[in-house]
């Protein structure tokens, strides 16, 4: 194995985050030579030998038992999401990677029906790698009106929401608190990598963002794990102005790797009125491929800001 691997990287990152006072140890302040807990301290808290924990963190041991993982998780003060992520990384480390490349994700007819059923609110379906598999007219107009509405239909042209957030000036400007949204997206990608450690397209996406976005590199190095569920974001939309929506992530039973994202607003709120105005500008119809119809964003070409 070359390097510590995902499991070792995660353990080191979580250990570095803790301070002695967090776990009831005496803090010697400036006399400490490492950030966070020492390996010896973590091993003592977990009740394992220093040499064993060191080998685990260095990627030299793959056989950690559930009991040992439980002890390490408690010592690292992991939350439920991080604990699940630790199990997934440890399980992946026990098996040789698979070289097969997955087929492009498909949208089931039932899922397309579900998307059509929520046509009154902005909605889209994301695949496991945050590729847009489909969106309704309002979802497209709210989140990516500068893109071709029909691009999700072609696997080779599908927009990727993680890539757009970090590399597309339009989408960066859409979020008033861009960093908060970026942190949520990276935390969700971390969780996905834990579930699918041998997914070549996912690895390629992470590699591309690492090469092109220093901000992604900084967030990725933090190793925080946080699946997306529901969060409110203030958007600066080029057509309807400022609007605050709650982006809710719903699981799709027949396609567990796919998620339905819906954007909701409180009844009678200015945000609801803004979405009603956006709905009027779309006329309820998908724009043509050339983008002439519908509320196409006009903030300028995507080359305005270098990456």
**What CATH number does the domain containing 41 carry?**
1.10.260.40
Predicted confidence at residue 92, as pLDDT, reads 75
Verify that 234 and 121 share a domain, yes or no: yes
Tens of pLDDT along 97-121?
554 667 889 999 999 999 999 988 9
Residue 168: inside a domain, yes or no? yes
Verify that 79 and 132 share a domain, yes or no: no
Verify that 240 and 169 share a domain, yes or no: yes
Verify that 138 and 82 share a domain, yes or no: no
Tens of pLDDT along 151-166?
999 999 999 999 999 9
The percentage of the chain sitting over the pLDDT mark of 90, rounded to a whole number, equals 45
Tokens 């399980």 identify what position? Answer: 91
Statement: residue 179 has pLDDT above 50: yes
Tokens 């000036």 identify what position? Answer: 169
Residue 295: inside a domain, yes or no? no
Verify that 69 and 150 share a domain, yes or no: no
Mean pLDDT of the chain: 84
Residue 104: inside a domain, yes or no? no
β-sheet bridge partners, residue 244 = 234
Verify that 207 and 134 share a domain, yes or no: yes
Residue 233: inside a domain, yes or no? yes
Predicted confidence at residue 293, as pLDDT, reads 45
**What CATH number does the domain containing 250 carry?**
3.30.450.180
Residue 292: inside a domain, yes or no? no
Contact 91, 5 (CB under 8 A): no
| 87 or 258, which is more confident | 258
Verify that 66 and 159 share a domain, yes or no: no
Verify that 85 and 114 share a domain, yes or no: no
Of 55-69, 71-85, 199-213, where does mean pLDDT reach its minimum? 55-69
Residue where a domain terminates, one of 38, 62, 93 = 93
The C-alpha angle 191, 264, 256, rounded to 5 degrees, equals 35
Statement: residue 132 has pLDDT above 90: yes
Statement: residue 62 has pLDDT above 90: no
Residue 143: inside a domain, yes or no? yes
Q: At 29, is the pLDDT very low, low, confident or very high (cuts 50, 70, 90)?
A: low
Contact 296, 145 (CB under 8 A): yes
Tens of pLDDT along 193-224?
888 887 889 888 998 998 899 999 999 988 78
Number of compact structural domains in the chain = 2
Verify that 140 and 255 share a domain, yes or no: yes
Statement: residue 2 has pLDDT above 60: no
Residue 241: inside a domain, yes or no? yes
Read off the tokens for 91. 């399980």
Statement: residue 32 has pLDDT above 80: no
Verify that 222 and 139 share a domain, yes or no: yes
Highest-pLDDT range among 13-17, 74-78, 260-264? 260-264
Q: At 70, is the pLDDT very low, low, confident or very high (cuts 50, 70, 90)?
A: confident
Read off the tokens for 187. 């935390």
Verify that 63 and 196 share a domain, yes or no: no
Verify that 58 and 136 share a domain, yes or no: no
The values of phi and psi at residue 244, to 5°, are: -105, 125
Residue 291: inside a domain, yes or no? no
Q: Domain range holding 273?
A: 109-282
């Amino acid at each position: 194995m070359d390097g510590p691997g995902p499991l070792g990287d995660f353990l080191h990152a979580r250990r570095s985050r803790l301070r002695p006072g967090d776990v009831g140890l005496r803090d010697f302040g400036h006399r400490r030579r490492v950030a966070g807990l020492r390996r010896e301290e973590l091993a003592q808290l977990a009740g394992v030998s220093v040499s064993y924990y060191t080998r685990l963190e260095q990627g030299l041991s793959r056989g950690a038992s559930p009991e040992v993982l439980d002890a390490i998780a408690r010592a690292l003060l992991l939350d439920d999401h991080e604990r699940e992520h630790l199990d997934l990384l440890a399980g992946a480390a026990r098996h040789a990677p698979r070289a097969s490349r997955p087929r492009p994700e498909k949208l089931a007819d039932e899922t397309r029906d579900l998307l059509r059923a929520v046509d009154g609110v902005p909605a889209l379906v994301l695949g496991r790698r945050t590729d847009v598999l489909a969106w309704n007219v309002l979802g497209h107009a709210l989140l990516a009106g500068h893109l071709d509405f029909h691009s999700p239909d072609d696997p080779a042209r599908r927009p990727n929401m993680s890539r757009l957030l970090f590399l597309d000036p339009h989408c960066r400007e859409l979020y008033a608190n861009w960093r908060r949204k970026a942190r949520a997206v990276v935390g969700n990608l971390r969780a996905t990598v834990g579930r699918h450690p041998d997914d070549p397209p996912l690895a390629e996406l992470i590699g591309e963002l690492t090469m092109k976005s220093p901000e992604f590199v900084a967030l990725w190095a933090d190793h925080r794990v946080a699946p997306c569920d529901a969060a409110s974001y203030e958007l600066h939309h080029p057509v309807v102005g400022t609007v605050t929506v709650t982006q809710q992530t719903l699981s799709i039973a027949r396609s567990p790797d796919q998620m339905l994202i819906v954007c909701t607003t409180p009844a009678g709120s200015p945000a609801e009125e803004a979405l009603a105005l956006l709905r009027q500008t779309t006329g309820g119809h998908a724009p043509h491929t050339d983008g002439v119809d519908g509320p196409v964003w006009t903030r300028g070409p995507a080359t305005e800001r270098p990456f």
